[in-house]
A and B are shown apart, each in its own frame.
Chain A
Amino acid sequence: MTAPGSPSGRSVRKWLTHAAAVLFGMAVSAVVGHSSLAGADSAGKKFERQPLIDAAWFAYGWGSEDDAAALLRRYAARLRREPGDDPVSARYELAFAEFRLAIIEHRPRAELLELCASVPKCRPEALDELVARLAAGRKVAAPHQ
């Protein structure tokens, strides 16, 4: 057995502290990395929905209302199926998507008012203004579909 004060004992202790330093660094990194992975998954789910909502607004602005409506329906279905880690924000996003879909589909005013109630910051008295703001995003004068 090696005596603690002997040269070989000091050498073993030195290597042990070196290994402890490496392990300490790895442990700190693992804690930080593990928590950042959860955030990355949530961001990944948002990126997964991004092409649908992006395409929906592009189709509404420059293409056809039918395409925009189909894309918004798929976006809403995906939000319902996979709300992600933040169900409150997903619920609001879903309410917005359904409200916009109703406007694009020219649904009756009574139905728009009903949907408006579930959309944050949507006031019934400002409904016409909201509809007009959305319609301003349409750049092409397409025949009414």
Chain B
Amino acid sequence: MAVTPSRTLLGASHLVLAVIGFGAVAAYYGHARAGRMFGTPQRGLGGALTSLQEEPTKEKTSRALALVPLAKPELGEPAASVVTVRLLALAAHISRDPGDLTRAVDACRARRWPSCDRESILDMGGSR
């Protein structure tokens, strides 16, 4: 049977419609997938920490720090405080900002850790 231009056009429109149908449902599942992976603050924080290990940036660190208070009820102590020290030390290491450094030193001292001087904090922030 000869393929006429109108049949080709019809086939192409079916393909486009199938792709639209696929895309609509894929968008829904994509949203649901992200919800299952990072749907709770603790899961979000875990994702942020994993991402920071791969590529640490100031923005990612700030976002992770903002998640700590939300994750704290589930995370408990000392986890929340330790993660805070880790993230503040990383922020100080990246930005070299005196304010970040002071906050990291204070958080470290609050845990009564043995080495909370500025140099140690910068070393902590630089460690993976």
Contacts and interface: CB of A to CB of B under 8 A. Distances in A.
B82 A59 contact: yes
Interface string B23-48: 11110111011101111101111110
Contact of A47 (B50, B108, B111, B120): B50
How would you classify the secondary structure of chain B's contact residues: helix, strand, loop or mixed? Answer: helix
A51 B40 CA distance: 13
Contact of B82 (A18, A24, A25, A71): A71
Contacts, number: 154
Interface residues of A, number: 45
A41 B46 CA distance: 14
- Which range contains the number of B residues in contact with the other chain? 35 or more
A70 B78 CA distance: 8
Interface stretch (A27-35, A81-89, A116-124): A27-35
Given A21-B14, A40-B37, A64-B113, A26 B25 contact: yes
Interface of B: 10, 13-15, 17-26, 28-30, 32-34, 36-40, 42-47, 49-50, 71, 75-76, 78-79, 82-83, 85-86, 108, 111-115, 120, 123-124, 127
- Top 9 nearest A-B pairs (CB, nearest first) are A33-B29, A25-B21, A50-B46, A47-B46, A25-B18, A29-B25, A25-B22, A22-B21, A55-B82
